[in-house]
Amino acid sequence: MKKILIATLMIVTLAPISNAHGDEHNKQSHEIDVTVFADGLKQPWGMTFLPDGRLLVTEKAGHLRIIDTNGQVSVPIEGVPAVNTKGQGGLLDVVLDPNFIENKTIYFSYALLEQDDNESRTAVAKAQLHNDTLSHVKPIWQQAHSKKAGYHYGSRLVFDRTGHLFVTLGDRNYGKDEVQDLSTHFGKVVRIDTDGKPAANNPFLNQSNALPDIYSYGHRNIQGAFLHPETGELWANEHGPRGGDEINVIKAGHNYGWPVITYGINYNGTPITDKRFMEGMEQPIHYWDPSIATSGMLIYNGKAFPNWQGDIFTGALKLMHLNRIKLNDQHQVLTEERLLKAQKQRIRAIEQGPDGFIYVATDNSAGQILKITPAQ
């Protein structure tokens, strides 16, 4: 596929949030080129690179495709289960098994199509990918309860360093009773093994009133998650209401407060709560007000952009940009940049390629994969 130059731009760092100096800001900037790596996609949602450099991409409508190293998009791969595409549902994230080279296994999350198509729940399946075809497709996990509304499914998939799979789950637009209740999966992060069973050291494994696969709770709708390349911790961005998008470090057994505490308000302007802090509930590393509508996450550790080592990249759906944040060792935000604003596209997913370049998926019916490289 012919690559089309979209833009060459100098990134200009925004005013500091705290403890930063202008000279240091300039050192953190990179001049970049942005090209269309692939197009012809319809609402791409999740993506991951295969060992041979090709890109595996999900489309919300239920299609799984492979993009070769020249940007050519395959026909849909057969064998994907039927998904519920109402509202925010559909085929969601996709990841490779840590031993993919040996076992050819992939995992994908989706809105499960129930017999009553008004009901749905987030589910995870695994399959083997051989010669661009799926085989041995097996659902391994699903939420304990379904719901009629087509909102807030999550759902990012991240493997930890022990080979267990994190699944992020939205609140499905439920309130405090369900999200704070450990007997439901609404507003939770779960941690399971590759057969869908609870991880052996999960924090609520032996608690009688809790689901054993829950890892953390009190979340609204995590649509971006990434395992920190240095610490191995799970980091996530949380799609808030009107205001209150967050970045969090997800810790075992911790409560992240939704909707008891939040920096956001209802979309109609009414308050959700007057509380921003409460004992026993975590504060975010960073929050946005107004919201940028977060989705997708990357903590960069490549060589192509040395000044961005360790920086957090987050997609912005509403404000249509790629957000970059630099933290200090105390997790304080030093600088924030808003990239790709000229493209005016909703950013849904972000991946670092084997070449060290950054790839982003745009969320619309004529979706693209954009490739960010150092300027030539």
Report pLDDT for 244. Answer: 93
Q: Identify any residues that bridge with 333 across adjacent strands, giving them in sequence order.
A: 327
Amino acid 173: pLDDT: 85
End-to-end CA distance of the chain: 20
Q: What is the pLDDT of residue 23?
A: 42
> What does the alpha-carbon distance between residue 317 and residue 84 come to, in Å, rounded to a whole number?
22
State what percent of residues in the chain have pLDDT above 90.
Answer: 83
pLDDT tens column, 312-366 = 999 999 999 999 999 999 999 999 999 999 999 999 999 999 999 999 999 999 9
- Dihedral pair phi/psi, residue 115, rounded to 5°: -60, -40
Report CA-CA distances (Å) from 236 to 188, 223, 230, 330, 335.
Answer: 12, 8, 15, 17, 18
Under-50 pLDDT residues of the chain: 1-26
pLDDT given at position 48: 98
pLDDT at 27: 55
| Catalytic status, residue 21 | no
- The reported pLDDT for the residue numbered 18 is 30
In this prediction, residue 174 carries a pLDDT of 81
Catalytic residue among 30, 152, 185, 321: 152
Q: What is the pLDDT of residues 215-251, one digit of tens each?
A: 999 999 999 999 999 999 999 999 999 999 999 999 9
Q: What is the pLDDT of residue 167?
A: 98
CB distance 47 to 350 below 8 Å: no
pLDDT at 2: 43
Total domains in the fold of the chain: 1
What residues contact residue 314 under an 8 Å CB cut-off, 6+ apart? Answer: 224, 237, 247, 292, 294, 295, 296, 297, 322, 323, 325, 350
315-354 per-residue burial string, b: 16 or more CB within 10 A, e: under 16 = bbbebbbbbbbbbeeeeebbbbbbbbeebebbbbbbbbbe
Provide the pLDDT for residue 9.
40
What is the domain range of residue 145?
A: 4-374
Say what the pLDDT of residue 15 is: 34
User: Tell me, what's the pLDDT at 8?
Assistant: 37
At 322, which CATH number? 2.120.10.30
Token pair listed for 43: 């609402």
What is the pLDDT, as a whole number, of residue 30? 87
